[in-house]
Amino acid sequence: MPFATLDSFARKSVRSVQDYAILSGRAISNLFRQPRYVSDIFTQADIIGVGSIPIVILTGFFTGAVLALQSAASLATFGATALTGTLVSLSMIKELGPVLTSLMISGRNASGMASELGSMVVTEQIDAMRALGTDPMKKLVVPRMVATVIMNFFLTIISDTVGILGGAWVAVQLLGQSGSQYFHNAYQSLRYPDVFQGLVKPVFFGFVIASVGCYFGMSTRGGTQGVGRSTTQAVVVASVLIIIIDFLISQFMIGIFGR
C-alpha cells in the first residue's frame, strides 16, 4: 500500500510539473500573437503594483533599519562601523530587496490570482469564455504575467531605495554616524554585477509568481474548497520556488562575475 501511494504521488507530481510547463510555454508564446489585451495589462498592473506599494515600502524600510542595527553591532567589534552603509546597500540590492519584495507580492497576488481564476473555473466562467471564442490563456493569464513581471521589477527598485534610506535613518539618528559617510560608502561599494543581479532576480521572480498563481487557479477542482486549496498551494509553491531560484541565480552570477 505505501508503494502504491508513493507511485500515485510521483505520477501526480510529474503530471503537475508537465501541466505547469505547458501553461508557462503557452503564455510566453501568446505574447507574440494577436490580440493583445493591453487594457487588461494596465488593470492588472494597477492591482498588482500600485496596490502593493504600501506593504513594499514598509517591508523595505524596516528591513534596511534592522540590517543597519545588526550590521553596526557586529562591525563595532572590529571598529568598522563606517562600513554599515556598504553592508546595507549590498544586502538590500543583491539579496533582501528582490527576495522579500517578491515574497510579499507572492503572498498578496499569487493567492489573489489563484482564488480569482479558481472561482471562475468552478463557476464555469472559463468554459463560457471558450464557448464565446475567447482564449482564457490570452485574456486572463498573459496580462497577469506581463503586469507581474514589470511591476515586480519596479517595486524591487522602490524596496531597495527605501531599505537604504531606512538603514540611513538608523545609522544617523540612532547610532550617531555621519550621513554623508553612510551614503558615500553605500554608493562606492556597488558595482555593475551587484546592480545587474538585483535587477535580474525580480524578473524571474515575477514570472514565477504569476505563472504559479495562474496555474493553480486554472487547475482548480472541487468547488469552493478547491479554491481554498489552490490559494494556499499557490502561495507556498511560489515562495519555495522564489527561494530556490534565488540560490540558482546567485550561484550563476557569482560564477560569472566573481561576486
pLDDT for the residue numbered 131: 84
Provide the whole-model pTM. 0.89
Q: Provide the pLDDT confidence category of residue 224 given band limits of 50, 70 and 90.
A: confident
pLDDT for the residue numbered 2: 52
The model's pLDDT over 116-159, given as tens digits with 9 standing for 90+, comes to: 888 888 888 888 888 888 888 888 889 999 999 999 999 999 99
For residue 139, count CB atoms less than 10 angstroms from its CB and return exposed for 0-12, middle for 13-18, buried for 19 or more. middle
- ∠ CA 237-111-16, rounded to 5°: 40
The model's pLDDT over 64-85, given as tens digits with 9 standing for 90+, comes to: 999 999 888 888 888 778 888 8
pLDDT for the residue numbered 4: 52
Q: Which residues contact 45 (CB under 8 A, 6 or more apart)?
A: 147, 150, 151
pLDDT for the residue numbered 1: 42
